[in-house]
Amino acid sequence: MNWVKCLVLCFLLLLTYLSFKLFLDCSWVILLIASSSCLLFLGLSTRIVKLKIFFFNISAIFFALFIYESILWIADRKKSKQMSTAYGSGYIEEHPYLGYGASKDSIFKSKKCIKNEEIYNVTYTIKDRLRYTPNSNEKSQNCVLFFGCSFTYGEGLSDSSTLPFYFNQFAKNEYKILNYGFHGYGTNHMLALIENRVTKDIQGCKNKKIAIYSFIPDHVARAAGYRELYRRGAKGPRYAIINGKLKKVGDFSESWGMTEKILSQSYTYRRLFAKKLKPSHYDFIRVVEIIKKSKELLFQDGVILYVFIWDYKGYEKAFINTSDYDYFLDEMEKNNIITLFLHDAIPDYDEKKQTYIIPNDGHPNCLANEKIAKYLYSQIIEINIIDQK
């Protein structure tokens, strides 16, 4: 009988290994039902009453977890079928210092549907692995660099509906535009780009040089790596404060232990713990240091950094302590980092939010980008006039 138990144990180990190698989407569903079955078998095969009760009870617990995990898995699959975002083939690939990014120069289709209802169907033009801005003045010696996430990139919008496009439209196409934004990026990606690419990109810009970083509250969690762990296969530049100084310490995948990687594949674990991962005060300190370092490096290249803050209603829910946001703003002011705000650009954003976002999506629409671009351009011009005086 012992050889049968060994055979069952080996089968369980093999099934567990295969589930995390071949069936990532439902690995824990397989693991839990296999564990429950094995424990049930051990309970049936033993003659010791106490052990039999022990195995049966543990088996029941694993079976209950299997049911809950299965429900969450089915719900996630159903949600994925109802809401899907499809990109053109080869759109995203691994990147040496950003973790991931646009793969090649081409035109990619992006289509999002919810319950067979089309939310958007647009194309993204990629040139030099950046989102192309049609009215960018490539011959100009003035340039504007845009950093941020999908808000900056223009997810769900055409090339001529993005924030960088409208900004240059108000500037009468005065600038060469470099849109460094991309899906899921944060402050850490901005600094990595500045450290590795920006200087080369702006060599031809001899006159006015401006950088605009669009900050949303979730960027604090992204710089801490909380989002990367639950985005399968994704990596991102990791920065830490060591001995009082900000340093690049590899990417987030190197900082995760095997236990974290395995647990992160469980829908139950994500439901109970992942949503509770909120930035701590240290995470805010890190973001402040990243922005400070970005400002310093840009200034060395003659670029002035402006931080546009999406201070929409409910942003404080993203943090453990709301006082950390006040700390963030105080540090921006203390370090002479120019900050501009969503509610100054669009005063009625909270009251009329649906007017300014893509329906059933949440990303800013062309109207929001136009209003924000107009505000940013007018403020930057005003600040420059004051500085010149």
Whole-number pLDDT of residue 208: 92
Whole-number pLDDT of residue 389: 40
Rounded Cα distance, 239 and 248, in Å? 4
For residue 252, what pLDDT band results from cuts at 50, 70 and 90? confident
Task: Kindly state the percentage of the chain with pLDDT values over 70.
Answer: 84
Question: Coil, strand, or helix at residue 18?
Answer: helix
Whole-number pLDDT of residue 129: 95
Which region among 12-16, 174-178, 201-205, 332-336 has the lowest average model confidence (pLDDT)? 12-16
Q: What mean pLDDT do residues 266-273 have?
A: 80
25-50 pLDDT, tens per residue?
778 888 888 888 878 887 888 888 88
For residue 258, what pLDDT band results from cuts at 50, 70 and 90? low
Quote the tokens at residue 237: 């530049």
Burial group, residue 238, by CB count within 10 angstroms (0-12, 13-18, 19+): buried
Which region among 254-258, 302-306, 313-317 has the lowest average model confidence (pLDDT)? 254-258
Name the one residue in this structure whose structure tokens are 């701590």: 280
Which residues neighbour 240 within 8 Å (Cβ) at sequence distance 6 or greater?
Answer: 246, 247, 249, 286
